[in-house]
């Protein structure tokens, strides 16, 4: 296979996989909104209606072909394969369908969706806290952040690093990027102006690809910049989970590589402290994380607090 053909096929394959796995199209107004089921209480299962798409920063945006571009690229690919006269033509014909761009799919991670977690008392309580103001440091995310104050040992670590600050923790266990987006746009992002925000989210977006998670995180950063224009955002890389070689760990690492582009050293400051929890083989250090290899224990929260305290102090002064 000559050099030109190799380059073309490699490029087409990359575009194909982007179209298959990563693309998002605007929701069609003629189609009813999709719904999913979330966990409920007392036997009641809240219905989750997927909301409208959120703006995404260019730094993390996934390339998405228009309908016209899709037709144009696929026609070009077919003509190229049909016109090939090399010994590779049978191979190209065999994988022709894989080289074709596919219609873009919606990225739910970058939508304003009221998740099951954001329905009910927790969300309403956050809105009331937001209305009261007096918040200098906002913490946001999922269970990893929510459980800073789950038990006495964790609370002691929270007090050690944040006890002298006026803080609010709007993280909810089990939530996703789309839930955080909805909460910020519906009362959790209004009524106060924090000096700094520490946010980490995305580990629960299991149905999304790494780039899709990154878009969701990027949309959150944009929403926070709109709601809190003077705040400094400490954007944490999503903590590693599972064990080395597990696809979920690789997916989150991919998302982290992409969201690191959001660091502008003016309003957004990216920090990945995941390696501090791991030994040289990538295994969690003893007594830092629970057996689920997902949630920190008090020692893990201590490592976390120590890793971010100086940066947060710096950001709070700006």
Q: What is the pLDDT of residues 138-195, one digit of tens each?
A: 999 999 999 999 999 999 999 999 999 999 999 999 999 999 999 999 999 999 999 9
| The pLDDT value given to residue 104 | 82
The string over 290-307, giving b where at least 16 C-beta atoms fall within 10 Å of a residue's C-beta and e elsewhere, is: eeebbbbbbbbbbbbbeb
pLDDT 10s digits, 57-71: 999 999 999 999 999
- Which of the residue ranges 18-27, 143-152, 260-269, 284-293 would you say has the lowest mean pLDDT? 18-27
The pLDDT-based confidence of 44 (bands split at 50, 70, 90) is low
Which H/E stretch holds residue 213? Answer: helix 210-227
Q: Report helix, strand and coil shares of the chain as percent, to nearest 5.
A: 50, 10, 40
Query: Confidence band (pLDDT; 50, 70, 90) for 107?
Result: very high
């Amino acid at each position: 296979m000559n050099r030109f053909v190799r380059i073309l096929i490699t490029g087409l394959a990359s575009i194909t996989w982007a179209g298959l796995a990563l693309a998002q199209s605007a929701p069609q107004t003629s189609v009813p909104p999709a719904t999913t089921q979330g966990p409920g209480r007392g036997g009641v299962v809240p219905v989750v209606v997927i909301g409208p798409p959120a703006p995404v920063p260019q730094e993390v945006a996934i390339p998405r072909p228009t309908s016209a571009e899709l037709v144009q690229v696929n026609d070009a690919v077919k003509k190229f394969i049909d016109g090939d006269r090399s010994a590779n033509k049978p191979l190209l014909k065999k994988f022709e369908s894989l080289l074709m761009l596919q219609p873009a799919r919606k990225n739910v991670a970058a939508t304003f969706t009221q998740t099951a977690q954001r329905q009910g008392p927790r969300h309403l309580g956050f809105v009331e806290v937001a209305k009261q103001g007096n918040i200098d440091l906002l913490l946001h995310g999922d269970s990893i952040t929510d459980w800073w104050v789950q038990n006495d040992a964790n609370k002691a670590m929270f007090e050690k690093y944040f006890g002298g600050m006026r803080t609010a923790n709007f993280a909810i266990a089990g939530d996703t990027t789309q839930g955080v987006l909805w909460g910020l746009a519906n009362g959790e992002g209004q009524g106060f102006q924090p000096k700094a925000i520490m946010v980490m989210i995305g580990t629960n977006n299991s149905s999304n690809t790494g780039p899709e998670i990154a878009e969701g995180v990027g949309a959150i950063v944009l929403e926070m910049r709109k709601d809190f224009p003077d705040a400094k955002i400490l954007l944490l890389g999503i903590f590693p989970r599972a064990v080395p070689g597990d696809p979920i760990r690789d997916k989150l690492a991919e998302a982290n590589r992409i969201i690191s582009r959001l660091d502008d050293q003016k309003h957004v400051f990216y920090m990945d402290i995941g390696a501090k929890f791991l030994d040289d083989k990538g295994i969690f250090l003893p007594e830092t994380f629970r057996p689920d290899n997902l949630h920190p224990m008090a020692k893990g929260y201590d490592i976390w607090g120590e890793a971010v305290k100086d940066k947060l102090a710096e950001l709070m002064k700006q």
